[in-house]
A and B are shown apart, each in its own frame.
Chain A
Amino acid sequence: QKEVEQNSGPLSVPEGAIASLNCTYSDRGSQSFFWYRQYSGKSPELIMSIYSNGDKEDGRFTAQLNKASQYVSLLIRDSQPSDSATYLCAVNHSPGSARQLTFGSGTQLTVLP
C-alpha cells in the first residue's frame, strides 16, 4: 500500500510568520511530488511541483524534497490570512504515462490576522 502521510493539524500561525507543512511517503520509487491548496468547498489548486532533491522556490512558497528520507515539505513565508486553506501533498508513484497521484489527507492551515 503506497501511503502519503501529512501532519494532521490544524496548524495556526500569526500573519507574517512562516508556516511549515510536512509530508512523508512510503514508496521509494516515487517520481514527482506536488503541493495543492484547497479552499473550503473548492477543488485543489496546484501550488508547487518538485522532482529533484533540494529546494524549489516560487514567490513566498518553497518546496523541499529529500528522497533519502522520503520527505517533502512546503514553507510559506510571510503568511497571509488568504493562505488559510487545506494543503494537500500528492505523490506520483507511477513511472511512464500513468500519472496516478496518491494524496495525503491534508493539513488545515489558519493564518491569524
Chain B
Amino acid sequence: ETGVTQSPTHLIKTRGQQVTLRCSSQSGHNTVSWYQQALGQGPQFIFQYYREEENGRGNFPPRFSGLQFPNYSSELNVNALELDDSALYLCASSGADTQYFGPGTRLTVL
C-alpha cells in the first residue's frame, strides 16, 4: 500500500459529459501527478501540481484541468468527454524524486 487513495474506483460516462476524479496523496507528499493509461500502453503524463500550482503539463488538451488543495489532495477534471478518454487514470504522489501510484480510476466513456 502506497498511502495514495483515489475515488471513485470505476466510472461510466457518456460522450460530452464532464467528470471529476479525486486523489489523496501520501502523508508528507506535496506533489501530485496525474497520468492516463490506455489499455496495453504505458501511463502518459497529464500534469503535475506542486503546492497548489500547476508545475508541468503533458500533451493533453485544455479540457483536462486540475486542482490541488491546501492538504495536497487533488482533482482531475475532464470536460466534453470523448470515447478515447476511456482509460485508467492514475494519481501519483511524491515528496522527492520517486512517485508512488494510487490504485487508479477506471473511466469508461460510452
Contacts and interface: CB of A to CB of B under 8 A. Distances in A.
Interface of A: 4, 32, 34, 36, 42-46, 49, 88, 90, 92, 94, 97-106
A34 B98 contact: yes
Interface string B54-71: 011010000000000000
8 contacts: A34-B99, A43-B103, A44-B90, A88-B43, A98-B55, A99-B31, A101-B99, A106-B42
A34 B48 CA distance: 18
A3 B55 CA distance: 21
Interface of B: 2, 31, 33, 35, 40-45, 48, 50, 55-56, 58, 88, 90, 92, 94, 97-104
Contacts of B42: 4, 88, 90, 103-106
A23 to B, nearest CB: 11
Contacts of B2: 45
A103 B97 contact: no
Chain A contact residues, majority secondary structure: strand
A43 B90 contact: yes
Contact of B56 (A34, A88, A90, A98): A98
Nearest to B103: A43
Given A88-B43, A106-B42, A99 B33 contact: yes
Contacts of A43: 88, 90, 101-104
A90 B101 CA distance: 13
A44 B45 contact: no
A2 B9 CA distance: 31
A102 B101 contact: no
B101 to A, nearest CB: 4
A31 B22 CA distance: 29
A3 B42 CA distance: 12
Contacts of A88: 42-43
A41 to B, nearest CB: 9
